[in-house]
Amino acid sequence: MTLSVKNDAAAMNLIDLQRVADAVTRRAAEQGYLLPRQVREEVASAGADPGLWKDVLKLASPHLVQRKGRYYYVSPASPQRESAERRTQAIQQAVHELVVEYRQAAELQERREVDRISFIQPVTVETSDGETWRVLTKDISASGIRLLGCRGFLGQKLRVTVPSVEGPHRTFVVRILWTCMVGDDLYENGGSFVELVG
């Protein structure tokens, strides 16, 4: 590190300047930030030429960051904190990559003429033999709906009651065109709307 001290005999030695830099760092840590005027005050109170304030800042630079005319304290990162930050960054990167991959795959698979809207809501499904089930919707379009539940409904006509935020619930008759097991006792059912019954 090159300092602007020109005359070692007349100026404080480097060890003394480091002590001043340490004092500046402590003060910034206590206050959160320092103004240039406060750095000059610290240099002067140590008996040094206030003109050396920039040299002191260079020595304190690993712990101070300048923003908008202020010198903010930056705490040194512990190995545990750095490790935690690396783990967090790795997780964020992996999730980002998964989201991008799945979006691209979804765009390639989308073959419907009618746009689907992500629509995750609990709904009630009634089968033709009177059984009722609580399932989740996955998405909805003007032509159909996709349901997630603990059983498949392939080939059945269902009465699907969708709660409304405002106003009455909507009940549709839906014919299930396909069913796919997506997990242990978890089925995805895709159906087309037949009629609105309530």
pLDDT of 30 > 60? The answer is yes
Higher pLDDT, 76 or 28: 28
Arithmetic mean of pLDDT over the chain? 85
pLDDT for residue 146:
96
Quote the percentage of the chain above a pLDDT of 90.
42
Q: Please report the domains of the chain, with CATH numbers, ordered by start residue.
A: 14-73 (1.10.10), 117-196 (2.40.10.220)
Mean per-residue pLDDT, 84-97: 80
Higher pLDDT, 125 or 165: 125
Amino acid making up residue 132: T
Higher pLDDT, 103 or 168: 168
pLDDT of 153 > 80? The answer is yes
pLDDT of 144 > 80? The answer is yes
Lowest mean pLDDT, pick from 63-72, 107-116, 162-171: 107-116
pLDDT tens-place string over residues 33-48: 999 999 999 889 888 8
pLDDT for residue 176:
97
pLDDT for residue 2:
47
